[in-house]
Structure 1
Amino acid sequence: MPATKARNTTAAIGGAPCWVSLVTHDLKGAQDFYGEVLGWTFRPGTLGGAFSIALAHGQPVAGIGTLTPEWHVAVAWTPYFAVESANDTAARIRERGATLAVGPLELGKGRGALAADRDGAVFGLWEGQTLSWAVGQGAAPMCLELRTRDAFEAAIFYGEVFGWAPDRPGGCDITYEHDEVMVRDMAGRTVAALRGGAVEAAPDPHVRPRWHVYFPVHDIEQVTAAAVAAGGFALPVTPMVDDSGCEAVIRDPQGGLFTVATAQD
């Protein structure tokens, strides 16, 4: 879940990603892996000893928290989206046939929840102040990507839940480009992409729709090698969709999937 402190906090744009977090079984093991592979350091969060904040060059990158028995969710990297009202957003999620897995709960100075969309992709929502953090800026993830069967259907769902609209003032804007849906903030920065495929085909039982978090790295070969050496698994390095660099999917030793991609300097 997002964690806040009195300093360096801000009110995120409604409907925009405001944080990413890994829920895991072994906090110390996760810190060791990500510290070795991505060079992160860690400090305590504000939600208790089961949560920590990852830092890169002293700047917040992501949260890592330990799964509790009552949270029936898998080890995974999860994006959180800023909302004005966690209760109202949760109601819209239920109304549209999706699932609330956890919450909304009071957490520190905010309220949060975990949900799954109609195809099973897990995401979170957060009401309250957040750390000064934005996709594509500084040490934050360079992008978030939903991989699903039908990007347009997913865009309708998330647009209705989070208020994404091409002409909505003060919120996120969506555009349709080459079979993809791009979500941009008020400054025109791309903060998420929804990509689909094989809409007419039967669902592949081995491919589960999910949100992917992309972390920028300068030496992708070195990072994937370090991940394998630290007990993880890495797929071969491939060109990015827009040919702006390379990317590779990594699974940490506890099953958390994430993507590393060539940093855009």
Structure 2
Amino acid sequence: MNHGTTHSSGAADVLLTSSVFGAPCWVSLTSRDLNATQDFYGAVLGWQWRGARLGDRFRTALVDGVPVAGIAGLASMWQMAVAWTPYFAVTDADQAVSRVRERGATVAVGPISFPPGRAALVADRDGAAFGIWQGELVTEWEAWRQAALTFISLHTRDAFDAAIFYGEILDWASGLPGCCEVDYAADQVLLRSQGDIVARIESGSVEAPPDPSVRPHWQIHFTVADVGPCIRAAEKHGGSLLDEGEHQAVLRDPDGAQFTVTSRRQR
């Protein structure tokens, strides 16, 4: 892979390095109204915008000139749900999709070739949607992490069963150079890449049985300096506050997509 290469996929520009895999590498959002989406996230998260190679229905969000997220205005056209989706870096998209199918999960789209890479949209056995991406990077993975200030969490019925599933798909804790490591805590599973926590899998106390009321989903967390101004900006621009804690808040954008803003102090 050639470092410094730009790529656009169906979710917009995506990142990958040859030395990091199995980790979240991009997040994308489906939208019904691109202009309203840009206004909202520009106000809440301070993002700037540029067009993407796939045409007028796609935008790329920038922080200090670095691509951090993709927006696709396809929700109405393709009758897709409005939602944020994380993408995981893989070394072989076709192999990852085969593993998804072998384990009884769902492949919605792909793998599709977007030279110089391949992408797919899949869901785990409990219905939580995620993407996989095999391709070249836009910038160094560490620089993307610093600019995006993003981590993700899976809310599911059985964190440990989910960790096994994702580990088999994405080669977590495989011992291969660059793979992600997994830590098992009392009530969650932590995913680490190069020492950083990049994802959490949560299902409640380890002693408790799986919760049948949980609708499994990946939640995107954007780290911000101060949660309060984000809440006020979201409400001013047509969004809503769903839940607020001491250091974080769950917000809904005008289209209905949920995301979390978390104070740097909490991270």
Q: TM-score, normalised by structure 1?
A: 0.87
Identity of aligned residues (%): 48
Supply the distance in 2 between the matched residues of 1:80 and 1:262 (Cα, whole angstroms). Answer: 23
Q: Which runs of 5+ in 1 are unaligned?
A: 240-245
Aligned to 1:115: 122
Supply the distance in 2 between the matched residues of 1:66 and 1:192 (Cα, whole angstroms). Answer: 27
2:75–2:81 Cα contact (<8 Å) kept:
no
Give the residue type in structure 2 aligned to 1:54. A
35 and 233 in structure 1: CA distance in 2 versus 1, 3 angstrom threshold: same
Aligned to 1:103: 110
Aligned to 1:237: 244
Q: CA deviation at 1:180?
A: 1.2
Mapped pair 1:142 → 2:143: no
Supply the distance in 2 between the matched residues of 1:102 and 1:135 (Cα, whole angstroms). Answer: 29
129 and 29 in structure 1: CA distance in 2 versus 1, 3 angstrom threshold: same
Aligned to 2:209: 200
Q: Which moved more, 1:65-74 or 1:149-158?
A: 65-74
Deviations 1:63-95 (A, max 9, x none): 111226785531111110111221111111011
2:156–2:203 Cα contact (<8 Å) kept:
yes
Supply the distance in 2 between the matched residues of 1:169 and 1:212 (Cα, whole angstroms). Answer: 28
Aligned to 1:64, which of 68, 71, 74?
A: 71
Supply the distance in 1 between the matched residues of 2:101 and 2:257 (Cα, whole angstroms). Answer: 26
Deviations 1:114-161 (A, max 9, x none): 111111111000011132245983221331111111110000100000
Give the residue type in structure 1 aligned to 2:112. L
Aligned to 2:162: 154
Q: CA deviation at 1:25?
A: 1.6
Aligned to 2:182: 174
Q: Which runs of 5+ in 2 are unaligned?
A: 1-9
Supply the distance in 2 between the matched residues of 1:177 and 1:168 (Cα, whole angstroms). Answer: 23
Deviations 1:22-55 (A, max 9, x none): 1112212211111122111101122322211101
Deviations 1:150-186 (A, max 9, x none): 110000100000011163433111111122111111x
1:3–1:131 Cα contact (<8 Å) kept:
no
Supply the distance in 2 between the matched residues of 1:224 and 1:144 (Cα, whole angstroms). Answer: 19
Q: Which moved more, 1:137-146 or 1:82-91?
A: 137-146
Aligned to 2:3: none
Q: Secondary structure at the residue paired with 1:36?
A: helix
Mapped pair 1:190 → 2:197: yes
Deviations 1:168-218 (A, max 9, x none): 433111111122111111x211111111127525511xx421111111122
Q: CA deviation at 1:12?
A: 5.9
1:4–1:131 Cα contact (<8 Å) kept:
yes
2:171–2:179 Cα contact (<8 Å) kept:
yes
Q: Which moved more, 1:122-131 or 1:100-109?
A: 100-109
Aligned to 1:252: 253
Supply the distance in 1 between the matched residues of 2:259 and 2:232 (Cα, whole angstroms). Answer: 15
Deviations 1:209-244 (A, max 9, x none): 1111111122211111110111111124203xxxxx
235 and 134 in structure 1: CA distance in 2 versus 1, 3 angstrom threshold: farther
2:62–2:68 Cα contact (<8 Å) kept:
yes
Mapped pair 1:90 → 2:90: no
Q: What count of residue pairs does the alignment treat as equivalent?
A: 254
